[in-house]
Chains A and B, each alone.
Chain A
Amino acid sequence: MILSDLLGSDALEADGRRVGGVVDVRLEISGAPAQLLAETVVTGVLVSPRSRVSTWGYERRGENGPVVIARLQRWLHRGSFLVSWDDVELVDEGRVVFRDGYERHDPMLPPAPKT
């Protein structure tokens, strides 16, 4: 499957109620070790109730500048949440369906490693 097929899809609860759009897919470099980099696995999907696109990710990072854009983006994506991949029941064309009783998690990214 192609990533862009998933981005912008409708995020639906098990009863068919739309809760937002899939704006991103969370990955973790934590799978089986490989020669260069460990396998990169999908751990969740990020859902924004009011938009299908999130370009700069202010709603999931601690960045505050430029302040006007940061505030506007946080307001646009207020109520965004992360759903663990374990709570995804079905992926179909243009829709992602969550399991009954799925949990909404804080979408904030952990701090980036210091280089």
Chain B
Amino acid sequence: MNDESAQRMPRPDPRAPRGRVLDAHLHLLDRQVLDRDGTPVTTIDDLELDGIELGARIEPGSPAPSVAAILTGPQLLMRIFGGHAPAARRISIPWKLVASVGTTVRLGVGADSLDASWVERWVSRHIIGRIPGGRHDPE
């Protein structure tokens, strides 16, 4: 087997994983995000990665990029149709608020503290709350 064909045969990754291994698209995109009480907050439309500079050569030994935030809201349309929402229009949930990753992604904070749930809070306060009986549980 010559050198070229040896390179084309995928080899087992010699680096043993040091933590839970995930594939971003397979395990994270479109997953539901729940707050610390199990209340649905949003779904993961995209992820923001820190440490990758477009067009810049990556020096060997540079620190690996990391996941900075979960993006939601208009980001789904950008993912499907292309383009970019201005940074100011992105609704993001910092990755440091994530407590666990499984079938769903659990946050360590309540939904009320997040920008991602402002639409639901607004509708609840200004529309549902004005309907008679809309401010308490069904009796």
Contact = CB atoms under 8 A, between A and B. Distances in A.
A85 interface: yes
Contact of A91 (B8, B9, B52, B95): B52
Interface stretch (B56-64, B112-120, B128-136): B56-64
A interface majority secondary structure: mixed
Interface residues of A, number: 55
A110 B17 contact: yes
B126 interface: no
B138 interface: no
Contacts of B51: 42
B21 A27 contact: yes
Interface residues of B, number: 52
A69 to B, nearest CB: 15
Contacts of A46: 23
Contact of B8 (A43, A88, A104, A107): A104
A3 interface: yes
Nearest to A13: B7
B23 A29 contact: no
Interface in B64-107: 64-67, 71, 75, 78-79, 84, 95-102
Nearest to B8: A104
A113 interface: yes
B7 A103 contact: yes
A21 B100 CA distance: 30
B137 interface: no
Interface in A1-54: 1-7, 23-31, 34-44, 46, 54
